[in-house]
């Protein structure tokens, strides 16, 4: 047997196979190295995105949804700090008014507020946004509003209201808000000529990797990936950049995580990394019009994609085990609280 293998190795066919394997291996290694360097360059070496091209300090406006808490609130503050006026959209009017007042006093920009219940697909909501931005030179939209499951849950046990709310908020409302605001952005870009438009939509590792026990949320975020990339192709010729922002966990009300770590940043650090990296893929080297901006999330995304792959059975099983464990702990905690 060994003699046969040695004979094959010495044959012209065997030599050709070895040469081909060497070339393919070298190509893979060089490609991996270049992509890894690209991740490092985007995260740590490249210059921060200059928001002047999106109208910062020029009297132009940004619209931020889900702006009363967490990541959305940080987007509003950090865009205002860059010199953009801000339209704040969220459910609770009192919170929005307090945030608007703080932003105006701190950054000397203008604000508007729109009370908007994203769990209801009501035409009056979109009319309220359109009325608020009528006549405003809007260049930026941040689609931050979103909802996940209360705890990980098997799809067949998912409550109908939870299922409907997730799809309504994450998909239908996000698309309709974009249909409302994007025409104003394209009109502003056409009129101003010296600025570009920007639409950022919050994605998730839940959409990057199929996620058992978060099936509805996972599917809703995967939908946003495809929609956002398609929209990027449509609006690029009109001077509007569209980007999906992929994140792992962020300490926020939606994630129910309070303690930050190297892999779980707070909203301030996450938003700072996102705005710094607009236009750069960071860890999302394999995806068009997509960024995984926070450094640890970027390396996680890159290495999963470069090794087992996001659609592999290995990744699926790891996700299954992790979220099943989270569900078990959540149910035990709920049972203890009920007894107490």
Same domain, 9 and 147: no
Same domain, 264 and 169: yes
Same domain, 231 and 92: yes
93-107 and 70-81 are packed helices; what angle lies between their axes, rounded to 10 degrees?
30
Same domain, 22 and 87: no
Three-class SS of residue 276?
Answer: helix
> How do residues 142-166 score in pLDDT, each as one tens digit?
999 999 999 999 999 999 999 999 9
Residue for token pair 């996001």: 310
Domain range enclosing 115: 49-336
Same domain, 27 and 164: no
Consult the annotation and say whether 204 binds a ligand.
Answer: yes
Same domain, 34 and 69: no
CATH number assigned to the domain comprising residue 136: 3.40.50.720
* Distance, CA of 1 to CA of 260 (rounded, Å): 58
Q: Is 217 assigned a catalytic role?
A: yes
Number of helices (H), then strands (E), belonging to the chain: the values are 12, 7
Nearest to 306 by CA among 286, 280, 281, 282: 286
Q: Across-strand partners of 245? A: 202, 291
Same domain, 12 and 125: no
The low-confidence residues of the chain, meaning pLDDT below 70, are 1-11, 13-14, 18
Same domain, 261 and 309: yes
Same domain, 232 and 118: yes
Nearest to 79 by CA among 9, 8, 140, 21: 140
What is the value of pTM for the model shown? 0.93
Q: Cα 267 from chain centroid?
A: 13
Q: Which of 217, 248, 288, 311 is catalytic?
A: 217
Strand 138-143 with 111-115, pairing: unpaired
Same domain, 19 and 103: no
How high is the pLDDT of residue 20? Answer: 75
Instruction: Show Cβ contacts of residue 134 under 8 Å, excluding neighbours closer than 6 positions.
Output: none
């Amino acid at each position: 047997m060994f003699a046969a293998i040695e004979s094959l190795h010495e044959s012209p066919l065997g030599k050709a196979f070895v040469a081909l394997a060497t070339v393919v291996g070298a190509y893979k290694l060089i490609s991996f190295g270049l992509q890894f360097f690209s991740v490092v360059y985007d995260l740590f070496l490249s210059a921060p995105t200059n928001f002047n091209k999106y109208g910062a300090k020029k009297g132009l406006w940004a619209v931020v949804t889900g702006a009363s808490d967490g990541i959305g609130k940080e987007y509003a503050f950090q865009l205002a700090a860059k010199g953009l006026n801000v339209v704040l959209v969220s459910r609770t009017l009192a919170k929005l008014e307090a945030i608007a007042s703080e932003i105006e006093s701190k950054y000397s920009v203008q604000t508007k507020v729109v009370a908007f219940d994203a769990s209801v697909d009501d035409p009056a909501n979109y009319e309220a946004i359109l009325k608020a931005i009528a006549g405003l030179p809007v260049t930026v939209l941040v689609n931050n509003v979103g909802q996940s499951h209360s705890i990980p849950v098997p799809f067949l046990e998912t409550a109908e209201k939870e299922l409907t709310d997730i799809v309504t908020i994450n998909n239908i409302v996000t698309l309709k808000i974009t249909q409302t605001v994007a025409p104003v952005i394209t009109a502003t870009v056409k009129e101003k000529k010296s600025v570009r438009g920007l639409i950022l939509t919050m994605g998730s590792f839940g959409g990057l990797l199929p996620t058992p026990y978060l099936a509805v949320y996972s599917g809703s975020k995967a939908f946003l990936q495809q929609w956002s990339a398609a929209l990027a192709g449509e609006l690029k010729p009109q001077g509007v950049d569209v980007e999906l922002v992929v994140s792992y966990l962020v300490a926020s009300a939606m994630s129910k995580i309070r303690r930050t770590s190297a892999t779980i940043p707070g909203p301030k650090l996450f938003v700072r990394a996102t705005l710094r990296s607009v236009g750069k893929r960071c860890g999302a080297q394999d995806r068009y019009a997509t960024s995984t901006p926070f450094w640890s999330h970027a390396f996680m995304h890159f290495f999963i994609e470069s090794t087992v792959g996001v659609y592999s059975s290995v990744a699926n099983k790891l996700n299954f085990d992790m979220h099943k464990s989270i569900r078990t702990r959540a149910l035990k905690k709920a049972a203890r609280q009920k007894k107490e």
